[in-house]
Structure formats: C-alpha cells, structure tokens
Structure 1
Amino acid sequence: MTRLPGPDEGAGSAARSRQAELTKPPGSLGRLEDLAVWLARWQGRSPPSA
C-alpha cells in the first residue's frame, strides 16, 4: 500500500470547477459531489469515470 500514488489535486480542482458550471443549485447533490471530487483526485482525471 505504500506504493500508491498520492491524489491529483489538479483533477480535484477541475472536478469542483466543472460542478460549479453544471445547471443545478450549488451543493444540491450533497455527498455525491464530494464523492465525484474524491474519485477524480484518485483517478487523476476530470470528470472521473465510474
């Protein structure tokens, strides 16, 4: 487990920015938005793939 790469903060930032551009009230998806950012950080891509 010590060889796992760290999270990609740039991808997390890009995921948050993308969420801000979507047509929905900010924070309306609750925990799902946080999960998408977490997933983007660990996959190193935004938007993350499921």
Structure 2
Amino acid sequence: MSATVTILRDDLEAVIGFLEGFDFDDDPNAELVREYLPRLRASLINEARDVQ
C-alpha cells in the first residue's frame, strides 16, 4: 500500500508541476487555475503525511 501511495503522490506532484508551468494566460480560467494549484499541492502534502 505504501509503495502505491508513493507512486500516486509522485505522479500527482508531476502533474501539478506540469500545470504550474503551463501558460494559462489566454485561458479565461487562468486566475482560478493559479489560485487552485497551490491548494491542491498543499492538500496532497497533507494527505501524504496522513498516510505515513
């Protein structure tokens, strides 16, 4: 279970990192995305702590 959680966490961190580097300037939801990604990262970190 722990290895699976680690893999999923690593995958999610990679996706979040990709999205943080993506250019959303032309997207009407750019501000929402910029606001949501840090929350998503923080939530992921908290979930990882809970599992460990």
TM-score bracket, normalised by the shorter chain, equals: 0.3 to 0.5
More helix by share: 2
TM-score (norm 1): 0.36
